[in-house]
Amino acid sequence: MPIKITECPRDAMQGIHDFIPTDVKAGYINRLLKVGFDTIDFGSFVSPKAIPQLRDTADVLRKLDFGGTRSKLLAIIANYRGAEEAAKHPEITYLGYPFSISETFQLRNTNTTIAQAFETVQRIHELCLVNNKYLLVYLSMGFGNPYGDEWNTGIIEQWTEKLVTEGIKNIALADTTGVANEAQIARIYPRLVELFPATEFGIHLHSTPNTWQPKINAAYRSGCKRFDTAIKGYGGCPMAADELTGNIATENLIAYLEAQSELTGLDMNNFREAMDYAGRVFI
């Protein structure tokens, strides 16, 4: 399987206080669409109260130019109503749902318990099947959490098995608060691949600028082929902590993969143009 990179402007933008104009968002994502990423995590159909920065996702979508792109679009949703809205748009391929194995974070993030969230996953998966969409479930807090909830690899495996039994084919292990370390990744990721070989597992890591490389190295050495990143490492989950732990910088991942002689298939001229334009987005 070739390397798949999901570029995450949605994750990069969501915690920024000042509203980024719709035309600026669309201009940035249009440049990203030219790069050749497998997927663009472009927006979110969630409550404007929860994430005011993304209240214009549908407007952004109308301004996107898909001519010549091979990238698929991913929209994040946090409840069934948001999934219904996202499913109306034929341009969207993936609906992403943050399913946490931390009760505290599930309540903070979607205002539901884990049990209620699993029922929501079941309903959204059915919705995806009849609307030609794919559900991507993020296993949030997949490497531990700061809230004191019980956490161990057995809990991860238990919930992954439930998701796979429901027919979920796409799961991303999410290090929501940046607590993962190299040893954890090297233990957890290959174990899940071994237990559930028919499932495509990706990894969504958060990191400080000086701790990204051991995490990416551990994931790559564990066989990971699907990575979520954001240009310049912007972003993080505003529901996770007061201080955002950023994403892995896409340019760092590309440099790492090139050092491993991996072909990304990206148009680097367009990538550099998108990086330059990012200065207009993240002021």
At residue 236 the predicted structure's pLDDT band, cuts being 50, 70 and 90, is: low
Tell me the domains of the chain and their CATH numbers.
Answer: 4-281 (3.20.20.70)
* Cβ 80 vs Cβ 61: under 8 Å: no
Q: How far apart, in whole angstroms, are the C-alpha atoms of residue 106 and residue 117?
A: 8
* Cβ 134 vs Cβ 94: under 8 Å: yes
CA distances from 177 to 161, 216, 239, 282 (A): 24, 16, 10, 21
Residue with tokens 């240009």: 231
Q: What is the pTM of this model?
A: 0.94
Q: Which two three-digit tokens encode residue 16?
A: 């920024």
Q: Which two three-digit tokens encode residue 168?
A: 């979920």
Q: Is the pLDDT of residue 237 over 60?
A: no
User: Which of 109, 42, 39, 30 has the alpha carbon at shortest distance from 66?
Assistant: 30
Q: Which residues pair with 72 in a beta bridge?
A: 39
Looking at residue 62, its pLDDT comes to 98
Render pLDDT for 33-60 as a digit per residue (tens, 0 to 9).
Answer: 999 999 999 999 999 998 999 999 999 9
Looking at residue 121, its pLDDT comes to 97
* Cβ 174 vs Cβ 137: under 8 Å: no
Q: Which two three-digit tokens encode residue 100?
A: 């946490």
Q: How far apart, in whole angstroms, are the C-alpha atoms of residue 220 and residue 109?
A: 29
Backbone angles phi, psi at 275, to 5 degrees: -65, -40
CA-based torsion, 29, 33, 37, 41: positive or negative: positive
CA terminus-to-terminus distance, the chain? 37
At residue 238 the predicted structure's pLDDT band, cuts being 50, 70 and 90, is: very low
